[in-house]
């Protein structure tokens, strides 16, 4: 019997109806009955830690141990001991034998959070567990067996980490048997208000106060903010406003105080409504965008000036008595302050360099998602792929 996605949401406290979120839940449910390794990716704060629990609770291992390990919080010198255990006297402070997580969780599931932070020697040990189910305690020579299902999660780009020599390629493919991508909050616009209301209601119930509400302008500001900290940041902001503000009606001016680096009002002419909105990290990016928008007009103007200087006068101009051919002389461009500034920028950075920088920044904004970056740049994915290859931005 197939488990309903809505039932899973209610059971695990998941709020939202985003297509990408529903797809992630569906994949988790499909892979749960198997023993395949799963790699959950997504930015910090998107809620990756819920999905290993969904997988474990809907698997044949649900009565076994479930252990969550934050790999980034364990010092490199002790992580092998934590995962695989150690023998008494194997190192200073090892006063007794100790079972590691892989021994304790035999028959269950281990969730390796922040797996991208694992040191290379530990990665080699983990690969052996994945391939053979075998491990050796620190300070021991005895091979032990374990039957553990591994679910890993990371906000690190493991493909780049492999290219940089920071993560083993063979381990990456072992962990990434079934990938699950959790969308960032900025791609879940339809869920932001729902989450805000949920967090506001929870806080009101906890501290016995009326729940805060957003006016129309505050609601638009909430939707326009990029939420770099994702759900974790939204919850934090909602709780702070609930506790600190006396008024239960929250305006955009009040909300803006709690949102760092809000640039919506800094460049209002460049802000579009709803989903068409585009954000700029700094003034330089705005200048680049303006230069790109002007590029075609500048090229047309250069061609016209070139034709006039070379005597190739358009027919329309020849017919105009105000500009007889005999009176046409080479024309020097008018050096207005705006043109001089544009030329200064063009001299310091070529159009190719500007284009390369814009593409790189778009990819960074969208965490390497080429489809979103292409939409941001208003070019086709095919063109973006070609430019990435041309500028060596892989």
pLDDT tens-digit series, residues 39-96: 999 999 999 999 999 999 999 999 999 999 999 999 988 999 999 999 998 888 888 9
Range(s) within the chain of domains with CATH label 3.40.50.300:
5-183
User: For the domain bounded by 5-183, which CATH number is listed?
Assistant: 3.40.50.300
Q: What pLDDT does residue 320 have?
A: 46
**pLDDT greater than 90 at residue 17:** yes
131 burial (CB, 10 Å; 0-12 / 13-18 / 19+) is exposed
Say if residues 366 and 360 touch (Cβ distance below 8 Å): no
Q: How confident is the model at residue 318 (pLDDT cuts 50, 70, 90)?
A: very low
C-alpha 222/C-alpha 155 separation (Å) is 24
Q: How confident is the model at residue 271 (pLDDT cuts 50, 70, 90)?
A: very low
**Could you tell me the CA-to-CA distances from 316 to 225, 304, 325 in Å, in that order?**
51, 12, 12
Range(s) within the chain of domains with CATH label 1.10.8.60:
190-276
Q: What pLDDT does residue 239 have?
A: 96
Structure tokens at 324: 């007889």
Average pLDDT taken over every residue of the chain: 83
Phi-psi region of 23 (alpha: psi -120 to 50; beta: other; left: phi over 0): alpha
Q: What pLDDT does residue 92 have?
A: 83
C-alpha 179/C-alpha 265 separation (Å) is 39
Ranked by mean pLDDT, the top range of 190-204, 255-269, 287-301, 311-325 is 190-204
Architecture field, domain 190-276: Orthogonal Bundle (1.10)
Ranked by mean pLDDT, the top range of 155-169, 269-283, 374-388 is 155-169
Say if residues 142 and 136 touch (Cβ distance below 8 Å): yes
C-alpha 28/C-alpha 39 separation (Å) is 10
């Amino acid at each position: 019997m197939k488990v309903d996605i809505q039932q899973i949401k209610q059971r695990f406290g998941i709020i939202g109806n985003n297509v990408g979120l529903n797809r992630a839940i569906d994949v988790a449910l499909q892979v749960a009955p198997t023993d395949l390794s799963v790699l959950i990716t997504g930015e910090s704060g998107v809620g990756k830690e819920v999905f290993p629990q969904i997988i474990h609770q809907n698997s044949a291992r649900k009565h076994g141990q479930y252990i969550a390990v934050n790999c980034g919080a364990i010092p490199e010198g002790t992580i092998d001991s934590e995962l695989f255990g150690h023998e008494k006297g194997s190192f200073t402070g090892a006063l007794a034998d100790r079972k590691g997580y892989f021994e304790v969780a035999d028959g269950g599931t281990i969730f390796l959070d922040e797996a991208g932070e694992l040191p290379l020697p530990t990665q080699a040990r983990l690969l052996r567990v994945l391939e053979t189910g075998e491990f050796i305690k620190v300070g021991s020579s005895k091979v032990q067996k374990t039957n553990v299902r591994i679910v890993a999660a990371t906000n690190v780009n493991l493909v780049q980490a492999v290219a940089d020599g920071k993560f083993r390629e063979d381990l990456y493919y072992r962990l990434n048997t079934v990938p699950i991508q959790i969308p960032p909050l900025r791609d879940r616009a339809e869920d932001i208000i729902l989450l805000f209301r949920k967090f506001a209601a929870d806080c009101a119930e906890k501290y016995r106060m009326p729940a805060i509400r957003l006016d129309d302008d505050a609601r638009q500001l909430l939707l326009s903010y990029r939420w770099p900290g994702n759900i974790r940041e939204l919850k934090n902001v909602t709780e702070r406003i609930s506790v600190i503000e006396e008024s239960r009606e929250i305006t955009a001016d009040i909300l803006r105080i709690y949102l760092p680096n809000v640039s919506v009002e800094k460049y209002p002419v460049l802000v579009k409504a709803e989903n068409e909105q585009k954000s700029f990290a700094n003034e330089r990016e705005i200048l680049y965008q303006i230069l790109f928008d002007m590029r075609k007009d500048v090229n047309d103007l250069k061609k016209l000036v070139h034709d006039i200087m070379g005597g190739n006068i358009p027919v329309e101009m020849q017919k105009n008595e105000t500009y007889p051919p005999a009176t046409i002389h080479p024309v020097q461009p008018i050096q207005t302050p705006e043109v001089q500034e544009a030329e200064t920028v063009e001299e310091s950075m070529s159009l190719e360099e500007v284009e390369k920088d814009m593409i790189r920044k778009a990819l960074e904004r969208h965490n390497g998602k080429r489809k979103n970056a292409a939409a941001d740049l208003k070019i086709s994915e095919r063109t973006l792929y070609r430019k990435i290859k041309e500028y060596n931005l892989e």
